[in-house]
Chain A
């Protein structure tokens, strides 16, 4: 098990109140595989330094979690399959 930090940029047209619940749905995969989610920090809408998929803004969220490498990989895969997810980044805070 390792600690990970996952940053997600979501489509700005989403309702910000629905962001947390819909992220929780994705995080189910972490909990089912024996991992734990320490923190979900939704930054809210933020201006992007450059357009991503023709969007000038994005909803940022940072998730701290503990899981196995395979679980995080699956989480990242599932996030990126979703249209509403513009971009993701998975980092290990210990080594970065």
Chain B
């Protein structure tokens, strides 16, 4: 049996940043695509963006959180901690 390619699964998210070198913290619609429904920032494994883009996204999300444009991560009630992997 041939070995399976390492990244055989289709991308969960198409990368909406094509060579973008600037991420605006005011662009809430774009940033929302990079957070989970709990408000956590999605990992690079999921977002498939470059390391540089991930840093820009993370910084923009954190700035947006400070200005109440995006929520801080919240724990849904009734679900024990540490079980949430997204």
Q: Which residues of A does B touch, CB under 8 Å?
A: 7, 9, 48-50, 52, 58, 60, 62, 87, 89, 91, 96
Contacts and interface: CB of A to CB of B under 8 A. Distances in A.
Contacts of B63: 89, 91, 96
Contact of A50 (B22, B26, B60, B68): B68
B49 to A, nearest CB: 17
A50 B67 contact: no
B86 interface: no
Interface string B45-86: 000000000000001100101111111100000000000000
Interface of B: 22, 25-26, 59-60, 63, 65-72
Counting chain B CB atoms within 10 Å of each CB, the highest count among A48, A49, A50, A91 belongs to A49
A52 B68 contact: yes
Given A62-B26, A89-B66, A96-B25, A50 B59 contact: no
A62 to B, nearest CB: 7
A54 to B, nearest CB: 13
* Interface SS, B side: loop
Contacts of B26: 7, 62
A64 to B, nearest CB: 12
A19 B61 CA distance: 27
B71 A50 contact: yes
Nearest to B39: A49
Nearest to B70: A49
Contacts of A50: 68, 71-72
17 contacts: A7-B26, A7-B67, A9-B67, A49-B65, A49-B70, A49-B71, A49-B72, A50-B68, A50-B72, A62-B26, A87-B66, A91-B25, A96-B22, A96-B25, A96-B59, A96-B60, A96-B63
